[in-house]
């Protein structure tokens, strides 16, 4: 897959837009043990493109690290309360949709 296509897919959230969801919403998730300090969860359709992206970056000499994937409603609310300037409100984050890393 083309590196730019993968980046565009990840940046766009796979086309999910700015949809907001309720506290009970949990998207379909898959664990990904990529180049991160821990296993993260993302939507299943992002695992392969992410792996391809990181393989290409590795081939170019880069060593990216993922720090965050899916966040629960409660986790997002806590993060927004701590830093509302840089963190979306609970229910309106791409992280809650499983489409942001």
Residue 72: give its domain's CATH number: 3.30.1380.10
**What does the pLDDT look like over 67-98, one tens digit per residue?**
889 999 999 999 999 999 999 999 999 999 99
Question: What domain range includes position 47?
Answer: 3-97
- pLDDT, one tens digit per residue, over 25-39 is 999 999 998 776 778
Closest CA to 73 of 32, 11, 13, 27: 27
**What's the whole-number mean pLDDT along residues 41-49?**
92
**pTM of the predicted protein model:** 0.77
Give exposure, 57-66, as e/b (b: 16+ Cβ within 10 Å).
Answer: eeeeeeeeeb
DSSP 68: -
Q: How many domains does the chain have?
A: 1
pLDDT at 17: 53
CB-side neighbour CA atoms (13 Å) of 23: 4
What was the pLDDT predicted at 15?
A: 43
Distance of alpha carbon 37 from alpha carbon 96, whole angstroms = 20
């Amino acid at each position: 897959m083309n590196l730019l296509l993968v980046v565009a897919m990840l940046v766009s959230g796979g086309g999910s837009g700015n949809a907001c969801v309720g506290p009970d919403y949990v998207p379909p998730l898959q664990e990904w043990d990529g180049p991160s300090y821990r296993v993260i969860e993302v939507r299943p359709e992002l695992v392969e493109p992410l792996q391809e992206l990181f393989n290409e970056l590795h081939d170019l000499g880069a060593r990216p690290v993922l720090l965050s994937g899916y966040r629960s409603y409660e986790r997002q609310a806590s993060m927004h309360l701590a830093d509302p300037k840089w963190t979306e409100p609970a229910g309106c984050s791409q992280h809650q949709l499983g489409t942001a890393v």
